[in-house]
């Protein structure tokens, strides 16, 4: 009976400790690309005591985790980037900063400029200072220039969704209609 009482006290102590916010620690970090720009949507997996915990970076590339004190392995992953790993110690009641810098994966090939599926002969060229791929969305940043045979678009940012074949454009948008070109199509004999 005495052993059962001691076991109950130990289990209760562990549960109280795990639920007491003052006893928890925090890991906070920002995930950056090689140019120093924040990367949203990065999968951050933390393993250590207990089950793995997974969070995703927010729109400004930051993540926050509240964990019990201990040592944890932290891994950041996103398609198009080499995964980044580090080990961190969490202390009770303290915030630990763990910034991560991800490099472009050498095994990932940047997709070609998107072409509308209904007209595969249509040429669309998109150029920019930086290109980031997140799932089905390709993000073009800085001095974006998109040209087709009929228009030229310039903007600060363009997000192209490869699934829906649509784009959203932001910042200093200029659209210019290009002069029509004559295309000669040979007749079938």
How many whole angstroms from its chain centre is CA 17?
34
Say what the pLDDT of residue 112 is. 52
CB 25 within 8 A of CB 92: yes
Q: Over its length of 189 residues, how does the chain's per-residue pLDDT go in tens digits?
A: 666 545 444 445 555 444 555 588 999 999 998 888 899 889 999 998 777 888 899 988 999 999 899 999 999 998 888 899 999 999 999 999 999 999 887 665 555 544 444 444 556 778 888 888 888 888 888 888 888 777 888 999 988 887 777 788 888 888 888 776 555 556 665
pLDDT at 166: 79
Residue 33: DSSP 8-state: -
Residue 162: closest CA among 124, 108, 105: 124
Give residue for tokens 């910042």.
Answer: 171
**Two structure tokens written together for 35:** 């140019």
pLDDT of residue 186: 62
- Hey, what are 158's tokens? 């363009």
Q: DSSP strand E in 11-121: where?
A: 25-32, 43-47, 53-56, 62-67, 70-77, 84-90, 95-97, 100-101
Evaluated on CA atoms 102, 108, 113, 119, the torsion sign reads: negative
Q: What is the pLDDT of residue 100?
A: 94
pTM: 0.48
Q: What is the dihedral of CA 80, 84, 90, 95, to 10 degrees?
A: -60
Question: All domains of the chain, ordered by start, with CATH?
Answer: 22-101 (2.60.40.10), 125-177 (no CATH)
* Class of residue 42 by CB neighbours under 10 A (exposed 0-12, middle 13-18, buried 19+): buried
Under a CB-based contact definition with an 8 Å cutoff, are residues 135 and 41 in contact? yes
């Amino acid at each position: 009976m005495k052993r059962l009482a001691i076991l109950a006290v130990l289990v209760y102590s562990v549960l109280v400790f795990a639920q007491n916010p003052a006893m928890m620690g925090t890991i906070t970090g920002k995930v950056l690309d090689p140019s120093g720009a924040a990367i949203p949507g990065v999968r951050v997996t933390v393993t250590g005591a207990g089950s793995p915990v997974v969070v995703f970076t927010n729109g400004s590339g930051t993540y926050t985790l509240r964990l019990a004190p201990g040592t944890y392995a932290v891994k950041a992953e996103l398609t198009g980037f080499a995964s980044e790993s580090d080990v961190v110690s969490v202390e009770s009641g303290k915030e630990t900063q763990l910034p991560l810098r991800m490099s472009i994966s050498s095994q990932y090939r940047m997709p070609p400029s998107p072409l509308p599926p209904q007209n595969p002969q249509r040429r669309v060229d998109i150029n920019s200072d930086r290109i980031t791929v997140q799932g089905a969305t390709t993000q073009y940043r800085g001095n974006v220039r998109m040209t087709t045979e009929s228009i030229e678009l310039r903007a600060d940012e363009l997000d192209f969704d490869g699934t829906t074949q649509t784009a959203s454009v932001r910042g200093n948008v200029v659209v210019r209609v290009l002069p029509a070109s004559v295309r000669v199509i040979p007749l079938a004999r």
